[in-house]
C-alpha cells in the first residue's frame, strides 16, 4: 500500500513523483530506524521467556492428554472434549509463530532463534498425531482384552516418567529397552492384536523421543543456543512447511483492485478536491486486513477509529500546533494521545481503535517543517479517507468476505485433496512433511470451529485421524517399491481406492476400501520377511484404524479363542 500512499497524492502533479517517492522512502526508513532503536534501547525484553512460558502451558496440556491416552479409555475424557483438546493444542502451537518471529528479529539472536524455534514448532505439532495414534491403539487393545500385563506395566511406567520433571535421559534409555522387549515379532500371518501391539510399540518410541527433544529444545530456547542435529532423538526432521492458499490471496487482490477502481470512479466523476485520499485509504485498508476471513467488519471499525483520530487531529491542527514553536513543545504536546493509543494497542479489545486513531490521526496532522493550517483541505481529506474505507468495506463484503465457516470447510476440502494427492504419489515426499502441512491447516481451522455447523465441526475434530492417515499413506507408498508380486499390487489397489474416495464429497470411505485393506494385509503378511514388509504392515494397520476405527477386527480370532 506504500505505492498508493505515494502515487495518489501526486496524481495532480505527476512530474514530482520521483522526488516524492524518494522522500517517502527516506521517511519510512527513518521511522523504521527510530522504532528499532526505541525497541532495542528502551526497556528491551526478549521473547524467549514468554515463549518458554507458553510452551510450559502447552506441554502441561499435552502431557495431561498423553497420560489419559496411556491409562486407557477409562481415564480418557469424553470424545467431543478430547477432540476439542487436540484441535486447541494445534491452534496454540500455530499461535506461537508470532512470538517466534519476534525472537528471530531480536538483536544477535536471529540465527540461534530460527535454528531452535523451527524444530520446536515441528515437534509440538508432531505430538498431536503420535499421541492420537497411541490413544487409538491402547483403546482398541483394551476393548479387545489384548493388552498384556507387561505392556500395561510399561504404559504405567511411561506415564510416571512423563509426569516427572527430573533428568530423564537414563530412564528414557531403560524405557526404550523395555519397549523393544514387548514388541511382538510379525511372523507369517500375524493376527490383528499382534499388528495393533506392534503399532503401539512404534508410537511409544516416538512419545519417548519427542519428550526428550522437547525438553532439550526448551533449554536451548532459554539459553539462546542452537541445537545440533545429533542432539535431537526424534530423527524424522522435515523442512519448514506452511499452508498457503493462493486462490484466497488472488481473491483478496481482486477485492483491493475493485475497491480502488470504484473509489477512483467516484473521485473522477465528482471532481472531488482532495478525493485522492479515498482510493489511497481503500488500498491501505484492503491490504491491512486481507488475511482475515471477513475483512469488511474490521475495515468499518478502522473507519470509525479514523473519525476519532480526525477529531483529535483537528483539535491539534487548529488549536494546539499554532502555539507550538520548538521541538520539545511539539513532543510534549503529542505525547498524551500517542501514549494513550500505545496503551490501547496492548489490549486486544482496544487494539483496533488505538491503532486506527494513531495511524489516521498522525496521517491527517501531516507534520511539516512549518505550520500550515487550512480547514477546507483538511475536511476534504477526512471525508475522502472515511468514504474510501466505507466503499472498500462494501466492495470487500460483496466480492471477498467468505466467513469463518466457508474458510474452515475450504481447509477441510484441501486436506482431503492432499490425502488423495499423497495416495497418488504426488505432493510431499515425506510422511511427516505431509503431516506438518495438514497440522498447519488444523491450527487454522481451530479458531473457526465455533462458526461452522455441528456436522462440519465433528469432521474437523477428526482431522488428526486424517493426519495419521496421511503419514501412513506416504510410508506405505514409500516401502511398496521394495515389495514384489501380490503384496505390491494389493498396496497399489489400496492407494488407488484411497485417492478415489478422498476426492469424493462423501464423509466416510466405502466398504470396498475396507475389503482392499484386509486383502492387502493378507498379501503383505504372506510376503518374505524384511524391514519393508514390517513397515508396510504397520502402515496398513494405521490406515485401517484411521479410516475405519469402528470396523470389526481384521482376521477375527476363531470362535473357540473368543470363548476362551
pLDDT tens, 10-46? Answer: 888 888 889 989 988 998 999 999 988 888 888 877 7
83 has a pLDDT exceeding 70: no
Q: CA nearest 91: which of 112, 61, 64?
A: 61
Please answer whether residues 385 and 456 qualify as being in contact, where contact means their C-beta atoms are separated by less than 8 angstroms. no
- Residue 399 above 50 pLDDT? yes
Taking the C-alpha atoms of residue 200 and residue 308, their distance in angstroms, rounded to an integer, is: 61
The rounded distance, in Å, linking the Cα atoms of 76 and 70 is 9
Q: Which pLDDT score, from 0 to 100, does residue 431 have?
A: 60
Kindly report the pTM of this predicted structure.
0.75
Answer for the pair 432, 236: CB distance below 8 angstroms, yes or no. Answer: yes
Helix-, strand-, coil-residue percentages of the chain, each rounded to 5 = 75, 0, 25
Name the grid cell of 213: 527433544
What are φ and ψ of residue 189, in 5° steps? 55, 60
Report which of residues 113 and 266 the model is more confident about: 266
| Direct distance between the N- and C-terminal alpha carbons of the chain, in angstroms, rounded to an integer | 74
Q: Give CA–CA dist 454/516, Å, rounded.
A: 31
Cα 152 to Cα 145: distance, rounded to the nearest angstrom? 11
Question: How far apart are the C-alpha atoms of 69 and 347, rounded to whole Å?
Answer: 37
Closest listed residue to residue 227, CA positions, set 121, 112, 126 = 112
What is the band of 564 on the pLDDT scale with cuts at 50, 70, 90? very low
Q: What are phi and psi of 325, to 5 degrees?
A: -125, -10
Interval 152-185: pLDDT, tens: 899 988 888 888 766 577 888 888 899 999 888 8
Q: Under 8 Å CB-to-CB from 295, ≥6 apart: which residues? A: 252, 255, 285, 286, 289, 396, 400, 401
Model confidence at 80: pLDDT above 70: no
Q: Cβ(407)–Cβ(293) under 8 Å?
A: yes
Q: What's the mean pLDDT when you consider all of the chain?
A: 81
Share of the chain above pLDDT 90, in %: 16
- What is the SS3 assignment for 509? coil
Amino acid at each position: 500500500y506504500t505505492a498508493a500512499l505515494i502515487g495518489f497524492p501526486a496524481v495532480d502533479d505527476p512530474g514530482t513523483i520521483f522526488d516524492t517517492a524518494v522522500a517517502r522512502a527516506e521517511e519510512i526508513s527513518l521511522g523504521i530506524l527510530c522504532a528499532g532503536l526505541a525497541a532495542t534501547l528502551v526497556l528491551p525484553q526478549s521473547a524467549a521467556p514468554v515463549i518458554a512460558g507458553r510452551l510450559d502451558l502447552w506441554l502441561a496440556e499435552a502431557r495431561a492428554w498423553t497420560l489419559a491416552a496411556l491409562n486407557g479409555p477409562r481415564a480418557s475424557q469424553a470424545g467431543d472434549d478430547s477432540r476439542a483438546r487436540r484441535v486447541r493444542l494445534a491452534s496454540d502451537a500455530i499461535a506461537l509463530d508470532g512470538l517466534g518471529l519476534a525472537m528471530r528479529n531480536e538483536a544477535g539472536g536471529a540465527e540461534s532463534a530460527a535454528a531452535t524455534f523451527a524444530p520446536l514448532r515441528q515437534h509440538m505439532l508432531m505430538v498431536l498425531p503420535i499421541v492420537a495414534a497411541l490413544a487409538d491403539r491402547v483403546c482398541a487393545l483394551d476393548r479387545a482384552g489384548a493388552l498384556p500385563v507387561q505392556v500395561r506395566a510399561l504404559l504405567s511406567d511411561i506415564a510416571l516418567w512423563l509426569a516427572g520433571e527430573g533428568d530423564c535421559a537414563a530412564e528414557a534409555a531403560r524405557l526404550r529397552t523395555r519397549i523393544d522387549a514387548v514388541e511382538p515379532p510379525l511372523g507369517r500371518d500375524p493376527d490383528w492384536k499382534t499388528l495393533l501391539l506392534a503399532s503401539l510399540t512404534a508410537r511409544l518410541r516416538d512419545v519417548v523421543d519427542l519428550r526428550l527433544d522437547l525438553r532439550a529444545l526448551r533449554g536451548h530456547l532459554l539459553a539462546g543456543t542452537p541445537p545440533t542435529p545429533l542432539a535431537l532423538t526424534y530423527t524424522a526432521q522435515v523442512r519448514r512447511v506452511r499452508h498457503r492458499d493462493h486462490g484466497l490471496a488472488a481473491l483478496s487482490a481482486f477485492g483491493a483492485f475493485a475497491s480502488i477502481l470504484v473509489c477512483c470512479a467516484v473521485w473522477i466523476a465528482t471532481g472531488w478536491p482532495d478525493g485522492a485520499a479515498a482510493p489511497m485509504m481503500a488500498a491501505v485498508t484492503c491490504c491491512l486486513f486481507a488475511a482475515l476471513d471477513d475483512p469488511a467488519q474490521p475495515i468499518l471499525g478502522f473507519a470509525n477509529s479514523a473519525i476519532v483520530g480526525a477529531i483529535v487531529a483537528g483539535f491539534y491542527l487548529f488549536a494546539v500546533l499554532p502555539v507550538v514553536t520548538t521541538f520539545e513543545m511539539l513532543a510534549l504536546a503529542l505525547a498524551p494521545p500517542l501514549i494513550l493509543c500505545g496503551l490501547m494497542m496492548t489490549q486486544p479489545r482496544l487494539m483496533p481503535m488505538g491503532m486506527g486513531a494513531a495511524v489516521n490521526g498522525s496521517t491527517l496532522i501531516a507534520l511539516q517543517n512549518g505550520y500550515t493550517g487550512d480547514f477546507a483541505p483538511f475536511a476534504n481529506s477526512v471525508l475522502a479517507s472515511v468514504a474510501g474505507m466505507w466503499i472498500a468495506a462494501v466492495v470487500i463484503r460483496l466480492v471477498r468476505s467468505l466467513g469463518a465457516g466457508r474458510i474452515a470447510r475450504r481447509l477441510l476440502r484441501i486436506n482431503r485433496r492432499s490425502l488423495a494427492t499423497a495416495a497418488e504419489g504426488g505432493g510431499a515426499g515425506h510422511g511427516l512433511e505431509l503431516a506438518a502441512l495438514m497440522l498447519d491447516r488444523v491450527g487454522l481451522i481451530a479458531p473457526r470451529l465455533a462458526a461452522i455447523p455441528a456436522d462440519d465441526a465433528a469432521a474437523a475434530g477428526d482431522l488428526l485421524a486424517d493426519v495419521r492417515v496421511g503419514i501412513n499413506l506416504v510410508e506405505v507408498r514409500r516401502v511398496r517399491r521394495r515389495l514384489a508380486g501380490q503384496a505390491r499390487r494389493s498396496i497399489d489397489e489400496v492407494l488407488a481406492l484411497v485417492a478415489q474416495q478422498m476426492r469424493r464429497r462423501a464423509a466416510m470411505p466405502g466398504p470396498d476400501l475396507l475389503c482392499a485393506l484386509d486383502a492387502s494385509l493378507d498379501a503383505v503378511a504372506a510376503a518374505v520377511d524384511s524391514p519393508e514388509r514390517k513397515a508396510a504392515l504397520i502402515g496398513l494397520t494405521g490406515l485401517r484404524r484411521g479410516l475405519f476405527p469402528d470396523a470389526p477386527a481384521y482376521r477375527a480370532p476363531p470362535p473357540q479363542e473368543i470363548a476362551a
